[in-house]
Chain A
Amino acid sequence: MSLTERLRFFHEAIAWKGEIPLQSRYTVGVAGERFLRELRDNARLIATHCPQCDYTYMPPRLYCERCFAELTEWVQVPPRGNIHAFTVMHLDLDEEPLAEPEIIAFVQLEGSDGGLIHRLKEVDPDEVYIGMPVGAVFREEREGSILDIAYFRAI
């Protein structure tokens, strides 16, 4: 038989508050080092190309997830492309309303089979369309992070 006793009053229900207290430090990895240093030092985007699958990974990877070969061929990718999909976000990470809705887009970069997910600025949401050409805006002070790209804007 199941429980012989249950709570009778709501105020008897106790919830114990707590957390998983930890911080995480992630190395960017073999491919990440090269990609993010190039981005930081020269404001340029580079990708890895798999000759066997003829697939260009952006962001670059150390290996091809399709054929598992190690990727050693790096190719230059221009900092512009077309919007594959975009969405107007209304909630922040705490699921609270954002002060200002922001646009997040998946930009397919020319010369690559992938692209970058980033914010879109300097454009009104109802002017944005799938296929719209956009370009990356690089920060002045760069430190080797995907945020070295401030945002994408229409070009």
Chain B
Amino acid sequence: MNERVAIVGIGWYGFRSITPELSYKEIMYEAAVRAYADAGIDPRTDVDSFVTVAEDFDEGTSIFDEYVPDQIGAILRPVETIPGEGLHGLATAYMQIKTGLLDIVVVEGHSKVSNILHPSHITAYAMDPIYNRPLAANPYFIAGLEMQRYLYETGNTHEQCAQVVVKNRGNALLNPLAAHPAEITVEDVLNSAPVAEPLTRLEIAPEADGCVVMVLASEQTARALTDKPVWLLGVGWANGSFNLENRSWVDLDYVRITGEMAYRTAGMRYPRGTLDFIELDDTFAYKELQHLEALGLCRPGEAGYLTLEGVTSVEGDFPVNPSGGSLGFGNLLDASGLARALEVVLQLREEAGTRQLPDVHIGAAFGWRGLPTTSAAMVILGNED
């Protein structure tokens, strides 16, 4: 088995609410060309396997992996599509390299969510067809139920959730990649239109188009290719209970298990003290708090307080979502996890420009597949040898 695996190249296209100037094939090509240039490789000769992340109904095409190989230079090569979170794709590439059979693996994930005319109908089509879908309710009700119960049990407040939006969309102002930066206040968030009380419109991450491609390599190859390898120290992923009626609405078992696996594979016993920062899913504002607590990065009920106190801001002791998170960067559906990981790589390579965090060595990216799933994945990255 290969010992260690590193990210040796990153490339992206986007991120904006619409991308009418290019087709999905063309944004994939743009991101892939940048990643291959960054890694210094030619996909036609150097890459052993390609992993892409896509869901048929997000793309509007069945068996979407048919439409993937040409634009990322992968024809007549091993190519596999993972219908899952972008970080599930990263974990798959990690496993493929660790077997020793494959040396360089490319991971691709994109969003053309602007091409979906009725996104809520697509999300509703993922719900249980016998017990939940017949209600024909907008799937945001799941987030409404979860947020209400979460605030009720943990004592976090709606203002603290609003502060997450203020922080993340504010962080996005310093991130040229982000699609939805904004200077807003807690009052703006609390007064925005109610969607699924207590959830308001501004607490829902606005969608964005874009593509992320990453090149991973085994240790030996990574050292040959780049002097700034970003090591995959730990990986973790897990599912919870799919049915709405038997899942825990507050302490998310699947997030806890995902974190435990990632920490274990990274040999990390005290994550809060070892991680310098984290990029984690904030598809809904309350989710950032809920995920922080479920990942054991603060005590239950403490996440809201830490956010209001500024501990999780870019100047704070434990920055959360310096990229702007999905709220500021834009919700890329299943590719969101790759956008989180992209930020962690940029920070660890000290290429994050004006939002560069000082002296960072270990960061994590956590992704959730969004409504109505209980499926999460996480990677822990480091820049030290």
Answer whether A115 and B136 are a contact pair too, CB < 8 Å, given A3-B26, A87-B196, A89-B141.
no
Kindly state whether residue A99 has any CB partner on chain B within 8 Å: no
What string of 1s and 0s marks CB contacts (under 8 Å) between B167-198 and chain A? 00000000000000000000000000111111
Report chain A residues within 8 Å CB of B221.
Answer: none
Report whether A104 and B60 are in contact in the complex, using a CB–CB cutoff of 8 Å.
Answer: no
Report chain A residues within 8 Å CB of B193.
Answer: 90
- A104's partner among B135, B146, B149 (CB-CB below 8 A) is B135
Give CA–CA (A13, B21) in the complex, Å: 6
- A117's partner among B22, B118, B131 (CB-CB below 8 A) is B131
Answer whether A20 and B129 are a contact pair too, CB < 8 Å, given A95-B138, A117-B245.
no
CB distance from B17 to the nearest CB of A (A): 14
Report chain B residues within 8 Å CB of A32.
Answer: 130
Give CA–CA (A144, B30) in the complex, Å: 52
CB distance from B92 to the nearest CB of A (A): 24
- A84's partner among B29, B118, B141, B149 (CB-CB below 8 A) is B149
Give CA–CA (A94, B138) in the complex, Å: 8
Answer whether A93 and B249 are a contact pair too, CB < 8 Å, given A29-B130, A85-B148, A87-B145.
no
Report whether A1 and B33 are in contact in the complex, using a CB–CB cutoff of 8 Å.
Answer: yes
Report whether A118 and B26 are in contact in the complex, using a CB–CB cutoff of 8 Å.
Answer: no
Report chain A residues within 8 Å CB of B208.
Answer: none
Report whether B120 and A94 are in contact in the complex, using a CB–CB cutoff of 8 Å.
Answer: yes
Report whether B246 and A114 are in contact in the complex, using a CB–CB cutoff of 8 Å.
Answer: yes
Report chain B residues within 8 Å CB of A145.
Answer: 134
Report chain B residues within 8 Å CB of A117.
Answer: 131-132, 135, 141, 145, 244-245
Report whether B249 and A85 are in contact in the complex, using a CB–CB cutoff of 8 Å.
Answer: yes
Report chain A residues within 8 Å CB of B199.
Answer: 87
Residues of A at the B interface (CB closer than 8 Å) are 1-3, 6-7, 10, 13, 15, 18-20, 24, 26, 28-29, 32, 36, 55, 57-59, 65, 84-95, 102, 104-106, 113-119, 125, 130, 145-147
Supplied contacts A87-B147, A102-B137, A104-B145, 20 more A-B pairs, CB within 8 Å: A2-B29, A3-B29, A13-B21, A18-B60, A20-B57, A36-B130, A55-B246, A58-B245, A65-B241, A85-B249, A87-B197, A89-B144, A93-B121, A94-B118, A105-B145, A106-B244, A116-B245, A117-B145, A146-B130, A147-B135
